[in-house]
Amino acid sequence: MVNANDTKLKSWVDVPKDSDFPIQNLPFGIFKTNYLHPVAGVAIGNHVLDLVYLHENGFLDGLGLPYGIFNQNELNGFLALGRKKGGEVRQRISELLRHDHDELKSNFVAREMALVHRNEVQMQLPVRISNYTDFYSSEEHATNVGSMFREPKNTLLPSWKHLPVGYHGRASSIVVSGTPIHRPKAQIKPADSELPVFCPTQKLDFELEVAFITCSNTLLGSRISAKDAEDHIFGLVLFNDWSARDIQQWESVPLGPLLGKNFGSTMSPWIVTLDALEPFRVKGPEHFPQVLPYLLVEGKKNFDLTLQVFIQSGLSVPTTVSRTNFKYMYWNINQQLAHHTVNGCNVQVGDLYASGTISGPSPGSYGSLLEISWNGQRPLTMQDGSHRTFLEDGDTVIMKGHAERDGVRIGFGECSGEILPST
């Protein structure tokens, strides 16, 4: 059996050189067209492979897949089969798409029916998200925020180096890439006012994040070890956890964010499997002080993913505002899931766990405008000559991410959203 990650693999489907979706990737998503209701698909080059057609016409026989598993408007049922089964399906699809494999390649009718050009599809949210947790796992980001709002010697709160800090967010307002976001209204307290006012946020921000999606149901009272965590994780997506900084600052003491965060979060539509990202593993930062035993991990648990953020205003040329890397994360996905469940919290298929803002060591690698503009003190110059401290109505934030090695690029596509005026 040929390894689906083999860098020498080529597909009979045309894959542009700079594509995020070569045969070594094969991410899963949900798509619809003018003639197809939402169904499961796999990205390959500029096309989407219709998994319902493949399954119903015998191309996936022998994998033990339940009838209709792909003919659904969400991937939860497929994910519930487990990461191992997902890997078997990816391996079979890789075989069908190989340039030297004729089964689908030489079947003109099947090929025409199974492949849909991406121009014809509308991507959907790939999973039904029952639960959403947002972590705070970048040391650089936490240090920057602490420096702005606390004295320098207390930039990190006492617990930060001992556990992956997180909070439970709002699952119902997570939307797929391309969905506009309205500027939220709520209470803020201007610096020159004794009382709060109700108005649109003046400090709307993006947060560059990567999120993982779980593929198992666990029992209340059970826990997942850091060693076994990846058995419960299907893959990763890009994630923009929009943030209204002035609303959040006023409301967050003593319980944390609410209206400053729950108005919307945006995720990319393709779930890139952990199997596809296997060649891009790297060691994360050293932990000091040493973590408690339940958070200990061995080997390479971080991923070398280049991440970029662009802001586009109207038809202007997008401005690159951040370039960073997922490898900087202090707390990795194994530790996040282990900590989340160590108290007996149960996990459900399709749960989403976001990394928190990803920032690197230099200003050009910061993952939010709060840091880039240093809370409004350092305006950012755009390509069209305008300036930003925070987002304006009409701005579109575009996030991209990919891993690349030996000529193979594993990407996520776009995670984008336009800011609309308050309603």
DSSP string, 71-124: SSSSSHHHHTT-HHHHHHHHHHHHHHHBTT-HHHHT-HHHHHHHEEEGGG-EEE
CA gap 322, 318 in Å, rounded: 12
CA gap 271, 31 in Å, rounded: 13
Q: Which of 141, 232, 339, 402 is catalytic?
A: 141
CA atoms within 13 A on the CB side of 108: 0
- Judge contact between 74 and 134, C-beta under 8 A: no
Query: Does the structure show a pLDDT above 90 at 58?
Result: yes
Q: How many residues does the chain have?
A: 423
Which sign, positive or negative, has the C-alpha torsion 361, 366, 371, 377? Answer: positive
Q: pLDDT band for position 250 (50/70/90)?
A: very high
Report pLDDT for 150. 82
Report pLDDT for 2. 87
Query: Does the structure show a pLDDT above 80 at 153?
Result: no
Torsion of CA 8, 12, 17, 19, to 10 degrees: -100
CA atoms within 13 A on the CB side of 46: 8
196: which residues sit within 8 A by CB, 6+ positions away? 187, 188, 189, 250
Pairing label, strands 265-267, 174-176: parallel
CA gap 111, 156 in Å, rounded: 55
Catalytic status, residue 141 = yes
294: which residues sit within 8 A by CB, 6+ positions away? 225, 226, 338, 339, 342
Residue 52: CB atoms within 10 A of its CB come to: 18
Pairing label, strands 28-32, 39-44: antiparallel
Share of the chain above pLDDT 70, in %: 100
CA gap 249, 320 in Å, rounded: 27
Q: Give 319-358 pLDDT, tens digit per residue.
A: 999 999 999 999 999 999 999 999 999 999 999 999 999 9
Closest CA to 354 of 342, 366, 337: 337
Across all residues in the chain, what is the average pLDDT? 97
Report pLDDT for 75. 98
Residue entry with tokens 């209470």: 187
Report pLDDT for 154. 80
DSSP-based helix, strand, coil % in the chain, nearest 5: 20, 30, 50
What mean pLDDT comes out for the span 264-282? Answer: 98
Residue type, 200: P
Closest CA to 267 of 339, 181, 140, 335: 181
Q: Give 101-139 pLDDT, tens digit per residue.
A: 999 999 999 999 999 999 999 999 999 999 999 999 999
Distance of CA 228 to the CA centre of its chain: 21
CA gap 110, 390 in Å, rounded: 50
User: What 3-state DSSP class applies to 248?
Assistant: helix
Would you give the end-to-end CA distance of the chain in angstroms?
56
What mean pLDDT comes out for the span 359-384? Answer: 96
CA gap 261, 268 in Å, rounded: 18
CA gap 115, 210 in Å, rounded: 29
Query: Does the structure show a pLDDT above 80 at 202?
Result: yes
Q: What domains sit in the chain, N to C, each tagged with a CATH number?
A: 28-124 (2.30.30.230), 132-420 (3.90.850.10)
Pairing label, strands 132-135, 352-354: parallel
Closest CA to 148 of 264, 258, 248, 238: 248
Report pLDDT for 377. 96
Q: pLDDT band for position 294 (50/70/90)?
A: very high
User: Residue-wise over 139-150: b if at least 16 C-beta within 10 A, else e?
Assistant: bbbbbbbbeeee
DSSP 354: E
Q: pLDDT band for position 152 (50/70/90)?
A: confident
What mean pLDDT comes out for the span 229-246? Answer: 98
Query: Does the structure show a pLDDT above 90 at 215?
Result: yes
Report pLDDT for 44. 98
Q: Give 62-97 pLDDT, tens digit per residue.
A: 999 999 999 999 999 999 999 999 999 999 999 999
Report pLDDT for 316. 87
